[in-house]
Amino acid sequence: MSSRPPSLAPTLRPRGTSRRRIARALFSLALMAIVGWLAASALVVRRLVARPEVRVEREAEPAGLDLETVTLVTADGEHLGAWFRRASPGRALVLLLHGMGGTRRSFGPHARRLASEGFGFLVPTLRGFGDSSGERIDFGWSSRADVIAAVEYLERVEPEAPRVIVGQSLGAAAAIFAAEELGQRVNGYVLEAPYRDLEKACRDRLARHLAPPLAAIAFAGMRLWAPLFLPVAVERLRPIDAVTRFPAGVPALFVAGARDELAGDVRELAERCSAAAELVVLAGRDHEDLWTLDDEHWALWRAFLERVERVERAHAADASR
């Protein structure tokens, strides 16, 4: 029985089979990219709204300031650690609101400046930070209840003293969100580097770190997951809308650093504000530089506080006639 030698000719596969394999490989790569994009976007959004992992169980009080440690309870049941110092006769009370990632300890140097000239102050740690309760951060929206609880406390303990809110970044946004409800119960605002609206803030930050196509893709992923992780609709996180509902006649001082990328947004907020608003741009400062209270910055605060005091004394004199 004879056998045929094996053929040495190459085995030819149908051209359609190779195309199908390439198509499957491309589909698998695209699917992996989409899954990776979704997972990375979800992780980023979750980290942005989660409270910092380190919780300070008890904030160490600055020495020598004769502070009272108090706990504020908000209308929605959150508990906030706070420091309080009474004002000297005729001096204003200042409510200090920290920014993203801060606590009341962030205002240690500011508290010393205020105390040195007889101003009283209340410095709470906002929900979601430090030793205060709260598990999610929503960029100042829910913290408006913290601001209202703090003002109510000041009304109880020193009802005759003028009340001024000083907010920085997230704290400034919380004050803006609370202003409409507070009305004339607050006699002035110092609002330092608040964001314009959350969507623009996210777009701007991504644009600084990523090429335009990647920035757009990253923003789309964050926007997709936001409704799942944020406890409030993104459409509500717009201080630019809330400033149009400020109580008329209440002085509001907007402060920005000249080197801060938010300076244009702060200018727009001041222009749109329905209160008696003005804008000061501090030369040579970026966003983080505003948190250090040098002599020029302190002079700005003091001049504003003293102006509020003069106005309130004039109102009291008119009322007594």
Q: Which residue in 305, 194, 184 sits closest to 242, CA to CA?
A: 194
Q: Give yes or no for a contact between 201 and 287, defined as CB atoms under 8 angstroms apart.
A: no
The predicted pLDDT at position 57 comes to 53
In this structure, are 303 and 180 located in the same domain?
A: yes
pLDDT band at 67 (very low <50, low <70, confident <90, very high): very high
Angle at 276 between CA 123 and CA 125, to 5 degrees: 15
What is the number of domains present in the chain?
2
Model confidence pLDDT, tens digit, residues 153-202: 999 999 999 999 999 999 999 999 999 999 999 999 999 999 999 999 88
In this structure, are 37 and 118 located in the same domain?
A: no
Instruction: Inform me whether the pLDDT recorded for 54 exceeds 60.
Output: no
Residue 14 domain-assigned? no
In this structure, are 153 and 280 located in the same domain?
A: yes
Q: Which residue in 223, 205, 45, 59 sits closest to 132, CA to CA?
A: 59
Domain containing 231 equals 22-51+207-235
pTM for the full model? 0.87
Q: Tell me, what DSSP letter sits at residue 75? A: T
In this structure, are 81 and 137 located in the same domain?
A: yes
Query: Which phi-psi region, left, alpha or beta, contains residue 90 (left: φ > 0; alpha: ψ -120 to 50)?
Result: left
Query: Which phi-psi region, left, alpha or beta, contains residue 64 (left: φ > 0; alpha: ψ -120 to 50)?
Result: left
Q: Which residue in 96, 263, 83, 69 sits closest to 189, CA to CA?
A: 96
Residue 6 domain-assigned? no
Q: What would the two tokens of residue 82 be?
A: 């706070």
In this structure, are 181 and 224 located in the same domain?
A: no
